[in-house]
Amino acid sequence: MLSKDTFQFLEDLKNNNHRDWFQANQKRYAEYKNDYKETVEAFVAELSKEDETLSQLGFKECSFRINRDIRFSKDKSPYKTNMGIWMSPGAKNASLAGYYVHIEKGASFIAAGMHMPDADQLKGIRREIAGFYEDLEEIVENPEFKKLYGALDSENALKTAPKDYEKDHPAIEFLKLKSFTATAKLSDKEIESKDFIKNTAKKLLVLKPFVDFLNRGLTTE
């Protein structure tokens, strides 16, 4: 169960996003980091029951620094005001698909897949789709997938067929995608529930076949 103090810390930080406030609240930040670590470890333990590729992940592989990279951003707020958890067989900096939990009051969500893969990654995923699109169709047509996630996210999809693929390819709508993710919102009530981690992990594991499909394309020569 996520501490209510964690939610409140992030909300207060959002309203006081400057160094003086942050330095004056180091005790609260230390408590937040401890809760962050416990939450990550609990998610890894729960997901690993069905996805053993995650079993060796530690807090550092799944967490994010609270400091924002503001070098190229118009928003110069120095701190992130959400808790992010990324769980992938290859950890944060590897080129594999995985699961994501975003915790932010009024704006929490879960997701899985790969966001904006680079050119080589995109080539591997599209190759897998072109050859085995029936597998992907079966995944997204699964009733539980449709109930929780609806469909794959389609923002920023190409308007025409990508290079090297015919516009009448049976998987053309999948091939037009530039990101391969599925997303579902989480309510504050769900996050504050004592069964938050267990229930959320169960929802994420519905996406395991999708993650496995993408990683097949990313690891097959």
Count the residues in the chain. 221
Question: At residue 143, what are phi and psi to the nearest 5 degrees?
Answer: -55, -35
d(CA 195, CA 199): 6
10-residue mean pLDDT profile of the chain (221 residues): values are 89 96 98 97 97 93 93 89 92 81 96 95 96 97 98 93 93 97 96 95 98 94 73
pLDDT at residue 90 in the model = 67
Closest CA to 212 of 99, 43, 69, 134: 99
Query: What are the phi and psi torsion angles at 9 (to 5°)?
Result: -60, -45
Residue 87, C-beta contacts closer than 8 angstroms, at least 6 positions apart: 43, 44, 47, 54, 57, 62, 98, 99, 100
pLDDT at 93 (0 to 100): 59
**Cα dist from 28 to 66, 84, 117, whole Å:** 13, 18, 36
Predicted local distance difference test score (pLDDT) of residue 68: 93
Per domain, the residue ranges of the chain are 4-219
Q: Which pLDDT value is given to residue 171?
A: 96
